[in-house]
Amino acid sequence: MPCDRPEELSGLTREMVDALIAMFEKARAGAVAVDREARISWINESYCRLLGVAEADVLGRPVTQVIPRSRMPEVVESGDPLLLDIMEHDDQHLVVTRLPWFDDNGQVTGAIACILYDDLQPLTPLVARYRRLHQDLQAARKSLTRPGRTTRYRLADFIGASPQALDVKRKARLAAARDLPVLLQGETGTGKEILAQAIHAESGRADRPFVAVNVAAIPESLLEAEFFGVAAGAFTGAHRSREGRFQLANGGTLFLDEVGDMPLPLQAKLLRVLQEGEVEPLGSGQVRPVDVRVIAATSRDLAALAARGEFRLDLYYRLNVVEIALPALRERPGDLGILCESLLAELSAGRSPGIGITEAALQRLARHDWPGNVRELKNVLQRALTLIDTPAVIDEPAIAQALPAGNGEALAPGASALPGGLVQPLAEVVRLAEAEAINAALEATGGNRTRAASLLGISRSALYEKLGRMSG
C-alpha cells in the first residue's frame, strides 16, 4: 500500500521531514515522493497545481503515468541521486533534484524529488554556455563524421607523379601491408586524410570500419567521452550508453587527425589504451577489449613538442612506428599540372566540355608558395572560375587575381579584383574573402589550426567546418 505522508517512508526522522516540507512550501516548490515500486506516495499542492491534477487522483499511481518524463524509477532502481537535471513538462523546462530514501538496513524504500526552478531565466548564463558547447559538438560531429564509416579514397586519389609523391605512395603501400601504427606528418592541406583512408583501404582491415576523429575540432571537455564512450547515468543527461570512437572502430582503423593538439591528460589515457588494448567508458567502471589500428596525423612537429614537454615522448614513440612525411606542394611543383587537371575535372563534373588551364596560368601558379597546399590550390581554381566570362579555359590573368593579395603581384590601390569591375553576388564575395582570411591565418601560424582559429576569432570547430566547405 502506498504511504499517505512522506514521514512514513523508512529512514527519515520527523525533524528532517518537517524541515523538507517547510522548505518546499516556503519556496513554493513542487515536490513528490514515490515508494519502492515508483508509485506516488505523496505530492504537495504546488506540484498538483503545476500538473493540473488532484492529489487524490494520483496517489498510488506509477509516477511516469502522471509525470511522463520523470526519472524517479531510475533513482529507486539504482539508489543513486540525480542532484541536478532539466526535465521537460509541456512547454516548460523544470530544474529538478531527486534523492533516494533508505531504511535502517541501507535498502532503498523510495525517493523524493523537488523542483528547484520552474523558469530557466535565473540559469540563463549556465544554459547559454551549455548550448554553445552543444553547438560546438554538433558542428564538430557534422564536419568529422561520414555515413557508413567507410573510405572514399584510394592511393590513386593521392595525385602526383613527382619523385616525392611516388615515394609517399610507396611508403603507404608498405604501411598498408603491416598492421602497425602509422604517423603521417605534413602541413595542412597536403592530403593526410586521403592517405590514411588509402592505407586502410589497402590493408587487411579494409572490410572493417574506418573512423576519423579530428582532435582539434572537438571541445577539450568532451574529448574523453568521444574517444572512450559514456555509460548510462555517468552524468546528467547521459540517459543511454554511447560508444566512443575506439568502440566504433573496433576491428578496423581509427584515424586521429591533428593528434598534436591532444591535451596531455588525454594523451596518458590514449597511451594506456594502445598498450593494453582496452577502454573504460566514462562512468562504467568496466574495461572492454578493442582491436584498433591507429593512424595518426599532424601538421605540427611532434618531436619538437615532445622535447618541450608539450607531447608525451612515450606516446610519440608508440604512434611513430611507421612514419610518412607528406611533402608540401611547393616542394613538388612538377605535380601542379596533374593536380590542376584532376581538380578541374572534379570542379567541372557533369559539365561538357571540361575546364582547361593555360601554360601561362600554370607558370603563375608555380610562383606561389602554397601555405595551404592542395586545399588552397583547389580554392584558387574555384575563385578563378568565377573570374572568367566563359568557364572553359582558365588563363593567367584569372589566376593572378584569384591568388591571395600579397603573394606575387598585388592589386593596385582601388583596383577591382574582378575583370572589368564586374560585380559579383555578395555571398560569393564574402565566401572568397573568408577563404583568403583563413589561408592567411594558416600561413601566419605555420599551419597551427588552433592558433589560426584564435587569430580569426572563431572556435576550432567553426574553422574545421569552414575548411570542410572550402575543400568540398
In sequence order, what E strands does 123-270 have? 182-185, 210-214, 253-257
Length of the chain: 472
How far from chain centre, in Å, is Cα 246? Answer: 14
Euclidean distance between CA atoms 349 and 355, whole angstroms: 10
Question: Which of 404, 408, 421, 405 shows the shortest CA–CA distance to 367?
Answer: 408
Euclidean distance between CA atoms 449 and 184, whole angstroms: 17
Q: Are 136 and 459 in contact (CB under 8 A)?
A: yes
Euclidean distance between CA atoms 468 and 14, whole angstroms: 63
Give the end of a domain, one of 266, 294, 325.
Answer: 325
Question: Which of 86, 92, 58, 55 shows the shortest CA–CA distance to 70?
Answer: 86
70: alpha, beta or left? (left if phi > 0; alpha if psi -120 to 50): beta
Residue 200 covered by a domain: yes
Euclidean distance between CA atoms 44 and 25, whole angstroms: 8
Question: Between vectors from CA 353 to CA 350 and to CA 355, what angle results, nearest 5°?
Answer: 90
Confidence check: pLDDT of 137 > 80: no
pLDDT confidence of residue 93: 73
pLDDT confidence of residue 412: 39
pLDDT confidence of residue 234: 57
Residue 99 covered by a domain: yes
Which span out of 213-217, 281-285, 391-395, 447-451 was modeled with the highest average pLDDT? 213-217
pLDDT digits (tens, 9 = 90+) for 146-193: 444 678 888 888 988 889 999 999 999 999 999 999 999 999 999 999
pLDDT confidence of residue 196: 96
Confidence check: pLDDT of 303 > 80: yes
Euclidean distance between CA atoms 277 and 316, whole angstroms: 17
294 and 348 both lie in a single domain: no
pLDDT confidence of residue 311: 94
Euclidean distance between CA atoms 436 and 350, whole angstroms: 28
Residue 347 covered by a domain: yes
**Phi, psi torsion values for 253, nearest 5 degrees:** -125, 135
- Local confidence band at 416 (pLDDT 50, 70, 90 cut-offs): very low
For range 208-236, the mean pLDDT: 82
pLDDT confidence of residue 13: 45
Question: Which of 209, 90, 169, 220 shows the shortest CA–CA distance to 327?
Answer: 169
pTM score over 0.75:
no
pLDDT digits (tens, 9 = 90+) for 38-97: 999 888 888 888 888 998 999 999 999 999 889 999 988 888 888 888 787 776 778 888
26 and 46 both lie in a single domain: yes
Other CB atoms within 10 A of residue 308 CB:
9
Three cell numbers written together for 292? 584498433
303 and 390 both lie in a single domain: no
82 and 136 both lie in a single domain: no
Residue 126 covered by a domain: no
- The rounded percent of the chain whose pLDDT value lies above 70 is 79
Give the end of a domain, one of 119, 144, 169.
Answer: 119
64 and 167 both lie in a single domain: no
Q: Are 396 and 360 in contact (CB under 8 A)?
A: yes
Between these two residues, 416 and 341, which has the higher pLDDT value?
341
Residue 366 covered by a domain: yes
pLDDT digits (tens, 9 = 90+) for 351-395: 656 788 889 999 999 999 999 999 999 999 998 988 887 667 888
315 and 338 both lie in a single domain: no
225 and 293 both lie in a single domain: yes
- CATH code where residue 388 lies: 1.10.8.60
Paired with 62 in beta bridges are 39
Q: Are 70 and 87 in contact (CB under 8 A)?
A: yes
Residue 409 covered by a domain: yes
Euclidean distance between CA atoms 155 and 168, whole angstroms: 10
Give the end of a domain, one of 69, 97, 119.
Answer: 119
216: Cβ contacts below 8 Å, ≥ 6 apart = 257, 258, 261, 449, 450, 460, 464
343: Cβ contacts below 8 Å, ≥ 6 apart = 374, 377, 378, 381
Residue 124 covered by a domain: no
Paired with 85 in beta bridges are 96
pLDDT confidence of residue 164: 92
Other CB atoms within 10 A of residue 93 CB:
14
In sequence order, what E strands does 311-375 have? 322-325, 356-357
Other CB atoms within 10 A of residue 289 CB:
9
pLDDT digits (tens, 9 = 90+) for 90-128: 767 788 888 887 877 778 888 888 888 776 555 655 555
Query: Is beta strand 31-35 parallel, antiparallel or unpaired with respect to 108-117?
Result: antiparallel
Between these two residues, 129 and 414, which has the higher pLDDT value?
129
- CATH code where residue 102 lies: 3.30.450.20
Confidence check: pLDDT of 203 > 50: yes
267 and 307 both lie in a single domain: yes
| Domains: count for the chain | 3
Find the helix packing angle between 426-444 and 460-471, rounded to 10°: 120
pLDDT confidence of residue 411: 38
Confidence check: pLDDT of 413 > 50: no
Confidence check: pLDDT of 410 > 60: no
Query: Is beta strand 92-102 parallel, antiparallel or unpaired with respect to 108-117?
Result: antiparallel
Euclidean distance between CA atoms 113 and 147, whole angstroms: 41
- Local confidence band at 9 (pLDDT 50, 70, 90 cut-offs): very low
DSSP 8-state secondary structure symbol assigned to residue 92: E
Element (H, E) at 85: strand 82-89
Between these two residues, 221 and 420, which has the higher pLDDT value?
221
Paired with 210 in beta bridges are 253
305 and 334 both lie in a single domain: no
393 and 456 both lie in a single domain: yes
What's the mean pLDDT when you consider all of the chain?
80
Q: Are 261 and 450 in contact (CB under 8 A)?
A: yes
Q: Which domain holds residue 374?
A: 330-471
Residue 193 covered by a domain: yes
159 and 290 both lie in a single domain: yes
Amino acid identity for residue 432 in this structure:
L
Query: Is beta strand 40-43 parallel, antiparallel or unpaired with respect to 31-35?
Result: antiparallel
Between these two residues, 292 and 19, which has the higher pLDDT value?
292
DSSP 8-state secondary structure symbol assigned to residue 28: T
Residue 345 CB-half CA count within 13 A? 8
284 and 143 both lie in a single domain: yes
- CATH code where residue 247 lies: 3.40.50.300
- Local confidence band at 140 (pLDDT 50, 70, 90 cut-offs): low
